[in-house]
Structure 1
């Protein structure tokens, strides 16, 4: 499970192309949430909060460090359902935008090759065969 987080943060830090499986996206969200809470608690326990109820330097550094990979994996997740990364802006549509985006993040990816690359669930041999065509 942690390998998905590592894949997003280390291997694909600012990779906005390609596709991301649901498990890659949601495990990243889970671990990102847990690590953000841990960073916040470190700040609280060390008394480093900027003001009451806010984070401190550890939390701020963590959030800034994971902003780009979080954005990249969200865009790759949209690519998996054959949507442009710009579709992320649908969240700004009042009421329905956030729900629609959440539904897309939960949706199964396009089976087979789509506009953004080969199927992220297919095995490596199939990916290599598609690349040769």
Structure 2
């Protein structure tokens, strides 16, 4: 939960670097929350959970984008590489590979290694 809250606190920080653990823990907790909301929405079939799910997705849009950009920075790539997701299928695969790569071991132009 620490990693999830850390991303939310830095929700518009597009500078710096994010470790793999920060990135993937954020997405794991985000997926769990989304599954709970979708399950509640389908089980109750009410507008309330549909609205709640939409508001949650809207609320985490910027933090998700920011942590993805910081993750790219950690691998030594520009945040503009996020746009590779616009290429169907192949773009998502390439982006997934980028986010799975280890950090650059030393400081790079985006800041010091967050592991140290």
TM-score surpassing 0.5?
Answer: yes
Give the shorter-chain TM-score range.
Answer: over 0.9
Flag the structure with larger Rg.
Answer: 1
Instruction: State whether structure 2 residue 72 is matched by structure 1 residue 72.
Output: no
C-alpha contact (below 8 Å) 1:91/1:98 kept by paired residues: yes
CA RMSD of superposed structures (Å): 1.6
Q: Normalising by the residue count of structure 2, what TM-score does the alignment of the two structures yield?
A: 0.92
| Inter-partner Cα distance in structure 2 for 1:15 and 1:4 | 15
Q: Normalising by the residue count of structure 1, what TM-score does the alignment of the two structures yield?
A: 0.81
The size of the alignment, in residue pairs, is 116
| Inter-partner Cα distance in structure 2 for 1:89 and 1:76 | 14
Instruction: State whether structure 2 residue 29 is matched by structure 1 residue 44.
Output: no
| Inter-partner Cα distance in structure 2 for 1:18 and 1:106 | 18
Instruction: State whether structure 2 residue 96 is matched by structure 1 residue 102.
Output: yes
Alpha-carbon spacing, 1:48–1:76, altered in 2? closer, same or farther (3 Å)? same
